[in-house]
Structure 1
């Protein structure tokens, strides 16, 4: 009905516009000769024009006949004197056209709002997202060719004309490649259905007015989640790095910003982005104590200070691993120096508390001009220049274990001082409270100490430790689940990091039985989450399990080699979608304002309703669409692989930049594994 109404509007517009003009006009010779060819207006026309806000432009207008008697239109124009952050700005509009003897009438539907709701002081209205603007352009004969004047009804007035024509190319000037990929997964068991239903009743989910407003949507009824995959303009940006392309949008600062982030994802090669993130993390995010931090920047992008990240221990361990893999791949001494610095930070976490059972969550430099914040403490002795955050927990200890492992792989034994400290700190891991309380961490702690210290007695204890944590390597320990878009997203990354540590240690220590069981566990996790296309998990599963021949019963019953190879080929898009640089903007995003967005019938993290006080209802909202990184998580995420896949809203305050450890870990892991299509 929408397309039919657009056609009707277009034909009525042609009728009304023609009824107000003279029927006899002198047609210029070049226009008349084109009409005489019998092809009418079909072809690609050279286009020139002027915008009231951005000045002159050049471009092309493609008119391609369609089966309904109209023309499919693609308008591509690039501004001559207008630039945004030094980049050219290009508009691509698509529409339908009707031609008469001496005129062409074109109708375009362009969006007023896409996903950014606020950028600085500029704001979109909710109606901007629901109501596209129909732009009507009528070309009539003029001395310069067919000319038109029109407005986008929001920002700019346009005057443009078309003159010479060339033949159509095999492919249109622009193609929309955006698609929704099925992310549903297996049928939900009845017992799980009962649990979900109980939680929904407890929080009043189905009675919530916003949730109820989506109950008649087909995807809501079918519990059908989608991953939105949009490779559109990837090839264009790789060959046109100096252009920002806006597609079917009103051209203003918000729309340009949306397009800039996509351009920054697709224009650089993966290697160029890795170089950028390696340099940026070293200079702006690895604080004086060696911990990954947020960067506080001034208006010129200069570093003002480091802002602590509460999850820094995990990110620092993964950053160290990325630099170790970088060193193994490139032999770059700078990468090795980054390993040394971040390892020193991880080792300090264990020592600075003064309590052999506790480790710090992160570190920062002590500033006597500022009071020590709540839950922070000042170090003593050689650590008096630092403050530390209490609360080292199960999640964070995995960063220490992972970091110690990768550091020991690459730091030369000739670095006597750092190796002596590493040996000492590795032996203290077992005594940490969280290792004692969470026995699944004990094998890694004992295994690291055994390997780093070359201690056979510790190795025996490492092997015996698996007898007391059978669930760690047995089928009963499988806590992975994915129910039609609902999962413990941060837990996926955490489990993968722990599994990689265990697999590598078991391999180093020659415990092939444990290694192979852990490889199967990692492959089982991949099978569970494969519908959601968690690209880092795919790369990790390939590196440490699949390429070693591991498949597993879960894999053989529910997946296949063809599916895995397809997923592996797709995983490169997980890297391509991440922009460099990270946007550092005062911005708000809300995809739920889009007319094609839909609420999920399954609450997000529904089991969290047992928390007291119970979270508000909006805490449980999630969508059925997982958007590309450059349309959501790139703007605000500190580590996108832990974020929920089906989120829809984010916000960020300008001045605080997130690190790029998520990109670096995935990129250097792919290089370490020798994945061939990482360009």
Structure 2
């Protein structure tokens, strides 16, 4: 009904304009061609002026459609208006009706997309639900066909078209955004029962917000989607000085949304790696070698480091990234980075003074600042540092990972670090977490065996695997699962780190049987997570299993080489979606305000309902749409590979910058394992 009303208004407008046109009025020769049959179709040169951003020029494409109207693409670039030194281009698409010497165009423009607040500027909820319908009526004038119109929010426009050229094979702009199926296999009845019990416990189905989506088709079908948007990738690669604002009211918020996408697609992957490598070294690796957030002033200068409570894991992955960078490039700077940060990992084991415990991270001691809760000051040679207690299963994987990669690149002639690696690899075995979490023992024994060359450790390594219950496809402690958009997302990243460590150690120690079973387990994990497109899993599976000929039982029964190659191609897009630089803004985002968003019928991390106290109901909310990194995670995530895939809200305070080590790890992994097309 709304569409019919719009077209009725459009045709009535044209009729009224036509009836008021003076038939003997002299019009320019180029415009007169409109009166010829089909003369309107083509790409017209367009000029105009905005009341807020000044003059612009561009093109207006009119391409005849099957219903007798024209599909319109309006592409204009402002001449004197710049945003952060970049030109601003508007792309609007719409429908046109032409009669005689006039043409009427209708555009539906979004008022709100996903940013709800930028500094003191805010969107209203209604902005996301209600597009603005812009009517542009071109009539004859001495300058050509001219029009005046307003976007009803920010700007008034005056523009005209004159000369025309032929259509190109493709329209001036094409929307390539699409939803990819992420549902996965049917949920087993036993799992369904567990999910329903947790839903009942937290009252999920009775929650008013959840109930408001119960009639949506994707809700009924429990159907999640990945939103893939490669639109304008090629444009940004060849037009690095332009921001495209597409079908939106052009203001600071919509331009900012577009800038982040531009910063994802404009730089090459190598350019982003160079930027993040320099940022990490200059702003994010603190005095003790640990990965940190950077507190920056308005000019981008470092004020101080802010600790990250999971730094043991991220620093281990940083060491891995720099070791792979060194192996791929022989860049001595990468080797220096490995040295600095592996010393930080070594200190985590020494500074507690307790052989069974290790620290989560380190920071410089400031006598003017009180030591925070759960932090402690080091003693002796570590009195200039403070350390955070709570080293656990997750963090120890960062230490073993970092020690392994450091041992692969640091020359044996560097006796200081090698002596420490030998000593600390022995100490890893005595950590409390090795007794509490037996799945960590093989890596500890294997690392000690490789670094020290002690046959006794190698025997213990083999024995530690023989005590595990063996599955057809690899060893136990494999808790992979994916049920219609629900998974242990941070555990997936942790699993990848552990798999790379374990497979590499087995290979180095010549334990081919163990290595091959571990490779099969990794391929089984990939099959589980294939619908969710966890790009880091795909890269790891390719480099440490697939390219060595491993497929796995689950792969042979449920997947194919064609599907894997497609996923590997898609993983490169995962890198492309990460912008450089990361936006450092005072911003809030809420995709649930979009009219096409839908709540998931399955609670997020539903097993967390057993926690005491029970989390609030909104803790369990998640959507059915996984948005591109440049539309959500880029604004606030410190590590995209561990984030929940179907989150929809985030916020960030200006001045706190995340490191980009997530990008570096995936990029240098891809280069190290020889993934093609990493450009």
TM-score, normalization by structure 1: 0.98
Output the CA distance in 2 between the equivalents of 1:558 and 1:13.
Answer: 57
Aligned equivalent of 2:508: 508
Output one character per residue of 1:44-88: Cα deviation in whole Å (capped at 9) or x when no partner.
000000000000001000011111111110000000000000000
Structure 1 residue 500: Cα displacement: 0.8
Output the CA distance in 1 between the equivalents of 2:636 and 2:434.
Answer: 32
Q: Say which is worse superposed, 10-19 or 74-83, in terms of deviation.
A: 10-19
Q: How do 1:32-51 residues align onto structure 2 when only pairs under 5 Å count?
A: 33-35=32-34, 37-51=36-50
Task: Classify 1:291/1:32 alpha carbon distance in 2 versus 1 (closer, same or farther; 3 Å).
Answer: closer
2:644 equivalent to 1:644: yes
Structure 1 residue 29: Cα displacement: 3.6
Task: Classify 1:308/1:465 alpha carbon distance in 2 versus 1 (closer, same or farther; 3 Å).
Answer: same
Output the CA distance in 2 between the equivalents of 1:341 and 1:660.
Answer: 18
Aligned equivalent of 2:58: 59
Aligned equivalent of 1:298: 297
| C-alpha contact (below 8 Å) 1:591/1:649 kept by paired residues | yes
Aligned equivalent of 2:459: 460
- Structure 1 unmatched runs, 5+: none
Structure 1 residue 374: Cα displacement: 0.5
Task: Classify 1:216/1:3 alpha carbon distance in 2 versus 1 (closer, same or farther; 3 Å).
Answer: same
Output the CA distance in 1 between the equivalents of 2:318 and 2:31.
Answer: 66
Aligned equivalent of 1:484: 484
Q: Secondary structure at the match of 1:149?
A: strand
Output one character per residue of 1:324-376: Cα deviation in whole Å (capped at 9) or x when no partner.
00000100000000000000000000000000000000000000110000000
Output one character per residue of 1:596-649: Cα deviation in whole Å (capped at 9) or x when no partner.
000000000001000011101100000000000000000000000000011100
Aligned equivalent of 1:245: 244
Aligned equivalent of 1:116: 115
Aligned equivalent of 2:173: 174
Output the CA distance in 2 between the equivalents of 1:2 and 1:233.
Answer: 30
Aligned equivalent of 1:519: 519
2:88 equivalent to 1:89: yes
Task: Classify 1:559/1:356 alpha carbon distance in 2 versus 1 (closer, same or farther; 3 Å).
Answer: same
Structure 1 residue 17: Cα displacement: 4.4
Structure 1 residue 28: Cα displacement: 1.5
| C-alpha contact (below 8 Å) 2:474/2:520 kept by paired residues | no
| C-alpha contact (below 8 Å) 2:18/2:100 kept by paired residues | no
| C-alpha contact (below 8 Å) 2:111/2:131 kept by paired residues | yes
| C-alpha contact (below 8 Å) 2:187/2:483 kept by paired residues | yes
Output one character per residue of 1:140-185: Cα deviation in whole Å (capped at 9) or x when no partner.
1111101100000000000000010101111100000000000000
Output one character per residue of 1:384-437: Cα deviation in whole Å (capped at 9) or x when no partner.
000000000000000000000000000001101111111111110001111111
Structure 1 residue 39: Cα displacement: 1.9
2:560 equivalent to 1:560: yes
| C-alpha contact (below 8 Å) 2:35/2:101 kept by paired residues | no
Task: Classify 1:520/1:600 alpha carbon distance in 2 versus 1 (closer, same or farther; 3 Å).
Answer: same
Output the CA distance in 2 between the equivalents of 1:29 and 1:361.
Answer: 75
Q: Secondary structure at the match of 1:343?
A: helix
Output one character per residue of 1:524-545: Cα deviation in whole Å (capped at 9) or x when no partner.
1100000011111100100000
Q: Secondary structure at the match of 2:429?
A: helix
Output the CA distance in 1 between the equivalents of 2:91 and 2:512.
Answer: 57
Q: How do 1:413-424 residues align onto structure 2 when only pairs under 5 Å count?
A: 413-424=412-423
Output the CA distance in 2 between the equivalents of 1:214 and 1:121.
Answer: 31
2:385 equivalent to 1:386: yes
Output the CA distance in 1 between the equivalents of 2:258 and 2:388.
Answer: 39
Output the CA distance in 2 between the equivalents of 1:452 and 1:598.
Answer: 51
| C-alpha contact (below 8 Å) 2:352/2:358 kept by paired residues | yes
Aligned equivalent of 1:578: 578
Aligned equivalent of 1:372: 371
Q: How do 1:107-506 residues align onto structure 2 when only pairs under 5 Å count?
A: 107-470=106-469, 474=474, 476-506=476-506
CA RMSD of aligned residues (A): 1.2
Output the CA distance in 2 between the equivalents of 1:456 and 1:476.
Answer: 25
| C-alpha contact (below 8 Å) 1:589/1:650 kept by paired residues | yes
Output one character per residue of 1:422-454: Cα deviation in whole Å (capped at 9) or x when no partner.
111111000111111111100100110111011
Output the CA distance in 2 between the equivalents of 1:558 and 1:6.
Answer: 48
Output the CA distance in 1 between the equivalents of 2:237 and 2:31.
Answer: 40
Task: Classify 1:665/1:25 alpha carbon distance in 2 versus 1 (closer, same or farther; 3 Å).
Answer: farther
Output the CA distance in 1 between the equivalents of 2:130 and 2:34.
Answer: 37
Structure 1 residue 558: Cα displacement: 0.6
Structure 1 residue 31: Cα displacement: 3.8
| C-alpha contact (below 8 Å) 2:356/2:432 kept by paired residues | yes
| C-alpha contact (below 8 Å) 1:322/1:668 kept by paired residues | yes
Q: How many residues align?
A: 678
Structure 1 residue 11: Cα displacement: 2.1
Q: Secondary structure at the match of 1:353?
A: coil
Output the CA distance in 2 between the equivalents of 1:529 and 1:16.
Answer: 59
Aligned equivalent of 1:663: 663
Task: Classify 1:238/1:480 alpha carbon distance in 2 versus 1 (closer, same or farther; 3 Å).
Answer: same
Output the CA distance in 2 between the equivalents of 1:65 and 1:568.
Answer: 39
Output the CA distance in 2 between the equivalents of 1:29 and 1:411.
Answer: 75
| C-alpha contact (below 8 Å) 2:72/2:93 kept by paired residues | yes
| C-alpha contact (below 8 Å) 1:364/1:386 kept by paired residues | yes
Task: Classify 1:307/1:471 alpha carbon distance in 2 versus 1 (closer, same or farther; 3 Å).
Answer: farther
Output the CA distance in 1 between the equivalents of 2:627 and 2:24.
Answer: 51
| C-alpha contact (below 8 Å) 1:471/1:477 kept by paired residues | no
